[in-house]
Amino acid sequence: MTSLVLTVIAPDKPGLVELLSQTIASNEGNWLESSMSRLAGKFAGILIVSVPENHADSLIEALQQLQSQGLKVIAERSTEADASSESNNITLELIGHDKPGIVREISQALNRYSINVERLSTELVSGSMSAELLFKADAELTVPVGVDLEDLQQSLEAIANDLMVDITLN
């Protein structure tokens, strides 16, 4: 079996998931994991498909042909190496007034510690006491074993103070 990572984007309309799933199933593929959303009027997603090696090229070709129906698909064969056991998994939660640069500042700090962002979800939400927009982020992180978590916490708290956001690590 071969794993394919697919990224998809199209103008949002009913039937896109059915079209995608039918194409995958018709080519002996198995839909494993996915994350899909409507963003700014577009349907966007990423998914992992498992397919017998001898059907991988025909599935990729069939997915590329979906562009004639408005669905752009990029397919990449997965070359994921075994995950290292030399790491810890933590979550990061952030909320604060929306302003440019929040993701950049936090991601720069995480990169200094060689922390990998496994999953990141962000959204704008209305504040409970006001109509102001709040930026909310949830992330799953893989932290190398040698990283001092207290030092990481202090570094993120300094950034949080500058950005006027609240950050929680679990």
Q: How much is the average pLDDT of 138-151?
A: 93
pLDDT of residue 84: 55
Give the tens place of pLDDT for each residue, 53-64. 999 999 999 999
Residue 136 has pLDDT above 80, yes or no: yes
pLDDT for the residue 105: 93
Domains of the chain as residue ranges with CATH: 2-77 (3.30.70.260), 87-169 (3.30.70.260)
**Alpha-carbon span 71 to 74, nearest angstrom:** 10
Query: What is the average per-residue pLDDT within 104-125?
Result: 93
**Phi, psi at residue 142, to the nearest 5°?**
-110, 115
> Out of 56-65, 74-83, 148-157, which region has the weakest mean confidence (pLDDT)?
74-83
pLDDT of residue 129 exceeding 90: no
Q: In what order do the strands lie in the sheet with 165-169?
A: 116-126, 133-144, 87-97, 165-169
Average pLDDT score, the chain: 92
